[in-house]
C-alpha cells in the first residue's frame, strides 16, 4: 500500500443496534483490532450516515474502529426522524455507546458536521477524549449556514439554481424554512424530490473537480432523506448550539492532542472557519490542503487524515 493511502477494505467483526429511547434505535459496528486503541468515527451531515470506506482511515491492526449512524441517519431508525433529535441527544448517544462497549477513552475523528459533533462532545466530556482528528470544519454559526444556503451561488451558480429552483420563486427568500416544510411533509411525493434537490446540491459543491459519482451517491433516496431533512432541522436551530459556542469552548480541550485538516477550496465549509479554530487552538496541528475541496475522499485530504491517524498511533 502506498504511504498514507486508505487502508484496504475490511468487514466489521461485530455489529449491533442500540435503543436509546422509545423511538430511536442506532446502528453501530466495530472493526479492526478488538484489543486495539479505540477510535470513534463521526459521520457528517447531520444525517449523512457512515459507509464502509470510513473504516479505511485507520490501521486495522492497531485500531479498534467504532462507527455508528446518528439518530435519523443511515441504518439507524426511524430514517430522517426529527423528534428527540438534537446535539445534546447525539452527545448522550455517544456516551451510551462508549459505556456499552466498555471504553474508557477514545480517539474521535470527524469531518464537516462530524467535526461539529466531535468538538461539542469533547467540550462536554474532555476526560473521555484521547485525541481529535477534525476535517472540513463546521461550527454551525449563522454566517456559515447562510453561506451554504446562499453564498455558494457565487461559485456554483448552476447547482444553486437547481437547488433554489425546486421552490417557487416567491419562496426563495427563505430557502431553509420553505425546504424544511417540504422535507417534513409526510407525503413522499413532496419530501422525496425536495430531499434529492437539497442533497445533490451539496454533493455538487463538495469536490474540487466535478464528480458525478459523488453527486449520484448524495442523490440516493435513503442518503438524501436523512441528510436533507436533518440538515434543515439542525440548521434551523443553529445546531442547538449557542452562536459561537464551540469557539468559546476551545479552552476546555486545548490539552487534547488534535489535528485539523482543511481543503483550501472547500466551498461547503470555507477555510476561514478552520483558520479561526486553529487561531483559537494554537496547540492543534493545522494542515491546509492546497488542492482539495470539501470531501474527505479528495486525494490529498484522505492522505492527510491517514497521516494523522498514523501519527496518533504513537500517543
**Domain residue ranges of the chain, discontinuous segments joined by +:** 14-140+240-314, 143-239
**Crossing angle for the helix pair 212-219 and 221-236, to the nearest 10 degrees:** 80
pTM value is 0.97
The whole-number pLDDT of residue 3 equals 67
- 59, 69, 93, 266: which is the annotated catalytic residue? 266
CATH no. of 14-140+240-314: 3.40.50.1820
How far, rounded to the nearest angstrom, does the alpha carbon of residue 7 sit from its chain's CA centroid?
Answer: 20
- 43, 54, 233, 294: which is the annotated catalytic residue? 294
Cβ density class 28-56: b for 16+ within 10 Å, e for less: bbbbbbeebbbbbbbbbbbbbbbeeebbb
Active site residue 294: yes
**Burial (0-12, 13-18, 19+ Cβ within 10 Å), 234:** buried
Q: Render each residue's pLDDT in the chain as its tens digit; 315 residues.
A: 556 799 999 999 999 999 999 999 999 999 999 999 999 999 999 999 999 999 999 999 999 999 999 999 999 999 999 999 999 999 999 999 999 999 999 999 999 999 999 999 999 999 999 999 999 999 999 999 999 999 999 999 999 999 999 999 999 999 999 999 999 999 999 999 999 999 999 999 999 999 999 999 999 999 999 999 999 999 999 999 999 999 999 999 999 999 999 999 999 999 999 999 999 999 999 999 999 999 999 999 999 999 999 999 988
- 112, 140, 199, 239: which is the annotated catalytic residue? 112
Active site residue 295: no
The whole-number pLDDT of residue 115 equals 98
Active site residue 21: no
Distances (CA, A) of 40 to 4, 132, 161, 165: 19, 10, 37, 38
The whole-number pLDDT of residue 4 equals 75
Amino acid at each position: 500500500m502506498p504511504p498514507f493511502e486508505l487502508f484496504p477494505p475490511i468487514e466489521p467483526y461485530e455489529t449491533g443496534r442500540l435503543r436509546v429511547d422509545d423511538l430511536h434505535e442506532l446502528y453501530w459496528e466495530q472493526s479492526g483490532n478488538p484489543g486495539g486503541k479505540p477510535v470513534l468515527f463521526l459521520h457528517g451531515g447531520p444525517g449523512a450516515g457512515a459507509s464502509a470506506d470510513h473504516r479505511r482511515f485507520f490501521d486495522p491492526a492497531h485500531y479498534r474502529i467504532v462507527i455508528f449512524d446518528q439518530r435519523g441517519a443511515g441504518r439507524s431508525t426511524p430514517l430522517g426522524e426529527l423528534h428527540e433529535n438534537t446535539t445534546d441527544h447525539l452527545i448522550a448517544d455517544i456516551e451510551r455507546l462508549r459505556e456499552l462497549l466498555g471504553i474508557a477513552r477514545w480517539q474521535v475523528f470527524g469531518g464537516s458536521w462530524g467535526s461539529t459533533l466531535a468538538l461539542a462532545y469533547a467540550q462536554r466530556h474532555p476526560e473521555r477524549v484521547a485525541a481529535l482528528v477534525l476535517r472540513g470544519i463546521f461550527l454551525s454559526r449563522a454566517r456559515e449556514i447562510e453561506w451554504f444556503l446562499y453564498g455558494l451561488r457565487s461559485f456554483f451558480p448552476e447547482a444553486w439554481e437547481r437547488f433554489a429552483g425546486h421552490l417557487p420563486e416567491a419562496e426563495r427568500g427563505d430557502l431553509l424554512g420553505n425546504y424544511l416544510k417540504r422535507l417534513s411533509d409526510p407525503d413522499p411525493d413532496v419530501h422525496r424530490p425536495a430531499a434529492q434537490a437539497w442533497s445533490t446540491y451539496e454533493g455538487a459543491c463538495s469536490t474540487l473537480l466535478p464528480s458525478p459519482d459523488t453527486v449520484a451517491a448524495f442523490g440516493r433516496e435513503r442518503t438524501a432523506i436523512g441528510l436533507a431533512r436533518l440538515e434543515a432541522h439542525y440548521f434551523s436551530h443553529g445546531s442547538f448550539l449557542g452562536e459561537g459556542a464551540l469557539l468559546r469552548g476551545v479552552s476546555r480541550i486545548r490539552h487534547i492532542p488534535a489535528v485539523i485538516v482543511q481543503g483550501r477550496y472547500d466551498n461547503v465549509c470555507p477555510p476561514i472557519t478552520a483558520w479561526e479554530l486553529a487561531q483559537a487552538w494554537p496547540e492543534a496541528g493545522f494542515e491546509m490542503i492546497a488542492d482539495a475541496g470539501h470531501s474527505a475522499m479528495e486525494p490529498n485530504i484522505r492522505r492527510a487524515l491517514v497521516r494523522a491517524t498514523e501519527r496518533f498511533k504513537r500517543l
